[in-house]
Amino acid sequence: MEKQFPSRLRFNLGFLLEASLGTSRTIELAYPTIQVAADLTLTPLTGAFVVTRTGEGIYVSGLLKSQLEITCVRCLENGHVAASLQIDDLFYYPPATAPEGEFVVGEDGFIDLAPLVRELAILEIPIQPICKPDCRGLCVECGKNLNEGSCDCQQERIDPRLATLRQLLDE
């Protein structure tokens, strides 16, 4: 079994649990690179968030910025897309009061933002990511990346059954 290291997005907010309602702190992040989960690494992760003591737990709000690595659907090359992760969530305390599936403050006073950041980052990935707006993609005949130059394939291949329609377009 692979050894799992503690999350670098785990914060001790026990002091806030003992504070009066409305007490808040700002936490700034500036990670050059951070592995949020086994399947997600963010480079960089910067921004700030505010943690506030409420009657139900700790409210976390803020904005984090990062770059997500993507694979272009047109040319299959790796690329990056900017991501703005808007955090706006409540971590319930005590954990027994949390509705099912909600985030909780651990009994030790720690919160782990990694699952939330992972969720928000994955939602920022476009359905059809492209490396750049003018990506030309791959040649459908030979598979050459058209961003690197044109290929020698004949572009005007037409089904002989549709040749008469082509003549109408040419007129």
Quick one: pLDDT at residue 39? 87
Structural domain spans, the chain: 10-135, 137-171
- Encode pLDDT of 134-168 as tens digits: 999 998 888 889 999 888 887 666 777 877 777 78
Which of 168, 26, 45, 171 shows the shortest CA–CA distance to 116? 45
Q: Is the pLDDT of residue 100 over 50?
A: yes
- Encode pLDDT of 101-115 as tens digits: 899 999 999 999 999
CB atoms under 10 Å from CB of 40, counted, come to 18
Residue 127 φ/ψ, nearest 5 degrees = -65, -40
- Encode pLDDT of 32-74 as tens digits: 999 998 888 999 999 999 999 999 999 999 999 999 999 999 9
Quick one: pLDDT at residue 113? 95
Whole-number percent of the chain with pLDDT over 70: 94
Model confidence at 1, pLDDT cuts 50, 70, 90, reads very low
Q: Is the pLDDT of residue 123 over 90?
A: yes
User: What is the reported pTM?
Assistant: 0.80
